[in-house]
């Protein structure tokens, strides 16, 4: 399957598109041997039958085809480059009829498309299972949202200077019937793929704001941080949704923090900037989650109205043993401070890590050393009964 062929058709017309297909077909034909067969299935999809080839020969042929497609095309002084995604199925393991073989190759080809295009992949029986599982999981999540199966847990965030607990992060859990408590790692990925994450995130936002408002009215003002996915942020009504949630539950904006990822800021930076400014205007606090794992571009750190940087827990996990990662953490803390942001360390599990982070001037921290994410009532109990003593014991007076 040719990648992004539709844009050639759409921009240059079908007549032009046909000429491109003829050119590509000729190139593909030149890659094959006499006993092989090339056919066009329709649109920009081709099928090649390699006669008597094993896996190695199939892989070599696939690479030849990909390279042939990737050479620049010139038609009527127009020059452009195409790419192709290829799925490979082998007789008789992946199918014994033509239909079965083509379906298996198709499944493998779609996996290539999903993972960045321009490559080839062999079919694996697991792929169909994956696909089916994802379809089922998506369906179960949609039902779960209707049936109120999702819950929020809250992990405290400790202010190392004030030696206090000013905030917590809302983390999604799914009480899936027959599966127990399912962690986000098992379902957020599918929800991102199918787009359900936007609805799910909207539910999280409202639920978290409602919880923060309830804590506040019971005399315990605690800021709640909510993770926002790129798809949810991209919705035109996102800022309005945030404003509505605050208004509906009567929560002062500063008690809500939104955790964004770098992909949100990279994608359509101008629009992201306008939205972040509108959110900051509302009084909502903004933090950049999982910092250090993505582009970590200084340009947008400077431009966007961010209050906090959250250093990804992968850097903290290897501290203090790994000197390089410790140096990266030190650099992030300094950079964050230079840009007038607070720096939060995630995933702090050991006392040595905390000591080192304090010495580096890190402002806040979160992690199992203090507490895991808890249901709302359990977090309230923890705050009342354990937090003060634990923080006093763990957090050094004079770092």
Q: Specify the residue, 94 or 346, whose C-beta has the smaller distance to Mg ion.
A: 346
- DSSP category for residue 84: B
Indicate the length of the chain as a whole number. 399
How far is it, in rounded angstroms, from Cα 284 to Cα 275? 12
Site for ligand C2E in 256-285 (CB under 6 A): 259
Q: Which of residues 116-175 bind ligand C2E (CB under 6 A)?
A: 155, 171-172
**93 neighbors 106 (Cβ within 8 angstroms):** no
Q: Looking at 8, 188, 190, 276, which residue binds ligand C2E (CB under 6 A)?
A: 188
Query: In this complex, which beta carbon is closest to ligand C2E, that of residue 44 or of residue 169?
Result: 169
Residue 50 engages ligand C2E in binding (rule: CB under 6 A): no
Q: What is the DSSP letter of 232?
A: H
- The option from Mg ion, ligand C2E, none interacting with 104 (CB < 5 to 8 A, set by class) reads none
Does residue 289 bind ligand C2E (CB under 6 A)?
A: yes
221 binds, among ligand C2E, Mg ion, none (CB under 5 to 8 A by kind): none
Binder among 95, 184, 294, 376 for ligand C2E (CB under 6 A):
184
Contact (Cβ atoms closer than 8 angstroms) between residue 347 and residue 316:
yes
Site string for ligand C2E, 308-327 (x = CB under 6 A): -----x--------------
The CA distance from 226 to 361, in Å, is: 25
Instruction: Give the Cβ contact number of residue 124 at 10 Å.
Output: 14
- By three-state DSSP, how is residue 152 classified? strand
17 touches ligand C2E by CB under 6 A: no
Q: Which residues contact 368 (CB under 8 A, 6 or more apart)?
A: 347, 348, 349
CA distances from 293 to 161, 220, 290, 314 (A): 26, 34, 6, 9
> Residue 228 carries which DSSP code?
-
Residue 62 to residues 5, 119, 121: CA-CA distances in angstroms?
A: 19, 9, 9
- Applying CB under 6 A, which part among 64-72, 159-167, 183-191, 273-281 lies near ligand C2E? 183-191
Please tell me whether residue 227 binds Mg ion under the rule CB under 5 A.
yes
Asked if 294 is part of the footprint of ligand C2E (rule: CB under 6 A), the reply reads no
The residue range among 26-34, 40-48, 98-106, 364-372 that interacts with ligand C2E, by the rule CB under 6 A, is: 364-372
The nearest distance, CB 101 to ligand C2E, in angstroms, is 39
Q: How far apart are CA 202 and CA 359, in angstroms?
A: 38
Residues contributing to the site for ligand C2E (CB under 6 A) = 155, 171-172, 183-185, 188, 197, 201, 204, 227, 229, 259, 289-290, 313, 346-349, 366-368, 373
Residues contributing to the site for Mg ion (CB under 5 A) = 227, 259, 289-290, 346
């Amino acid at each position: 399957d040719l990648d992004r062929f539709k844009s050639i058709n759409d921009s240059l017309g079908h007549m032009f598109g046909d000429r491109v297909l003829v050119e590509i077909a000729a190139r593909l034909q030149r890659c094959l041997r006499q006993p092989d067969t090339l056919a066009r299935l329709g649109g920009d999809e081709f099928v090649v039958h390699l006669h008597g080839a094993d896996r190695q020969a199939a892989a070599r042929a696939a690479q030849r085809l990909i390279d042939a497609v990737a050479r620049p095309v010139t038609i009527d002084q127009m020059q452009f480059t195409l790419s192709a995604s290829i799925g490979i199925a082998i007789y008789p393991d992946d199918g014994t009829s033509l239909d079965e073989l083509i379906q298996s190759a198709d499944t493998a080809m779609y996996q290539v498309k999903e993972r960045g295009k321009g490559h080839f992949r062999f079919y694996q029986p697991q792929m169909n299972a994956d696909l089916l599982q994802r379809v089922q999981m998506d369906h179960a999540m949609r039902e779960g949202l209707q049936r109120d199966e999702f819950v929020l847990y809250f992990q405290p965030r400790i202010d190392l200077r004030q030696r206090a607990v000013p905030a917590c992060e809302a983390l999604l859990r799914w009480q899936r019937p027959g599966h127990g408590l399912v962690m986000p790692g098992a379902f957020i990925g599918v929800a991102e793929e199918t787009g359900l994450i936007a609805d799910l995130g909207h539910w999280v936002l409202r639920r978290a704001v409602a919880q923060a408002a309830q804590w506040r009215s019971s005399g315990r003002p605690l800021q709640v941080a909510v993770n926002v996915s790129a798809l949810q942020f991209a919705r035109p009504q996102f800022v309005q949704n945030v404003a509505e949630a605050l208004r509906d539950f009567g929560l002062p904006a500063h008690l809500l923090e939104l955790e964004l990822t770098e992909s949100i800021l990279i994608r359509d930076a101008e629009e992201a900037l306008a939205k972040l400014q509108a959110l900051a205007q509302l009084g909502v606090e903004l933090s950049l989650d999982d910092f250090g794992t993505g582009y970590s571009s200084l340009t947008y750190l400077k431009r966007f109205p961010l209050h906090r940087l959250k250093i990804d827990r992968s850097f903290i996990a290897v501290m203090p043993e790994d000197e390089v990662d410790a140096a990266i953490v030190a650099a992030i803390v300094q950079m964050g401070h230079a840009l007038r942001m607070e720096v939060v360390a995630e995933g702090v599990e050991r006392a040595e890590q905390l000591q080192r982070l304090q010495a580096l001037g890190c402002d806040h921290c979160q992690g199992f050393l203090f507490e895991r994410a808890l249901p709302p009532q359990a977090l309230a109990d923890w705050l009342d009964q354990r937090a003060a003593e634990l923080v006093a014991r763990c957090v050094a007076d004079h770092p």
